[in-house]
Amino acid sequence: MREQVIRAVEENKIVAIVRGIAAEKLIPVAEAMYEGGIRLLEITYSANGAVSDEQTAENISILSKHFEGRMFIGAGTVITTKQVELTKEAGGKFIISPDTFVDVIKKTRELGLVSMPGALTPSEIQIANRAGADFVKLFPITSMGPSYVKAVKAPLTNVKLLAVGGVNLDNMKDYLNAGVCGFGIGSNITPKKCIEEGNYEEIVALSKKYVEIVK
């Protein structure tokens, strides 16, 4: 399964980020993204405890069961090994973090999940890579830009990088040309207003636009 998820990231290039969406809207929102071509989706844990880790794991479980065989569901904002364990139990297939925490990376690999820790500097990227990361999420990339990616990628050709934070329809190609192999994209695919109004057709349309760029 690990290899299937890794191939899915490499082939589809987009991991949709779902944060702070009410449980009853998870499936309609995710179905809209699926219709638009999204095949990987992360449910984020709440770092400030606004939503319990157990509730987040339950949301991961709901989507994992609903989309079994169609979409890979994983967890984002994973900052503890306990969250890794909860994700595994919930049927999640990958772990994405905002930081480089070796304990989380090692626990992820130990449990057979795909590891995507966050890093920014070359040192952090290499720490993550050496600890067993399958991909390294460059975060936050928004203020650094494609030129930074290109500079980092030049000596670190062995690391598969994902660009996350501020990625949009206008800059995706620039990041691809700079050397990333994929993206994490949140509210640009799932605008808060669309979710509040139940405008799932717009989420389908936005998903299609992002997917078309990476084809």
- Among 13, 88, 93, 137, the active-site one is 137
Report the number of distinct structural domains present in the chain.
Answer: 1
- Among 13, 42, 93, 160, the active-site one is 42
Q: CA–CA separation, 63 vs 42, rounded Å? A: 10
CA distances from residue 123 to 127, 129, 156, 159, 165 in whole angstroms, order as listed: 6, 10, 11, 12, 20
Would you call 137 a catalytic residue per the annotation? yes
User: What is the secondary structure of 58-72 as a DSSP string?
Assistant: HHHHHHHHHTTTT-E
Give the structural domain span for 39: 2-214
pTM: 0.97
* Contact in structure between 154 and 173 (CB atoms under 8 Å): no
pLDDT tens string, the chain, 215 residues long: the values are 999 999 999 999 999 999 989 889 999 999 999 999 999 999 999 999 899 999 999 999 999 999 999 999 999 999 999 999 999 999 999 999 999 999 999 999 999 999 999 999 999 999 999 999 999 999 999 889 999 999 999 999 999 999 999 999 999 999 999 999 999 999 999 999 999 999 999 999 999 999 999 98
CATH number, residue 121: 3.20.20.70
Would you call 42 a catalytic residue per the annotation? yes
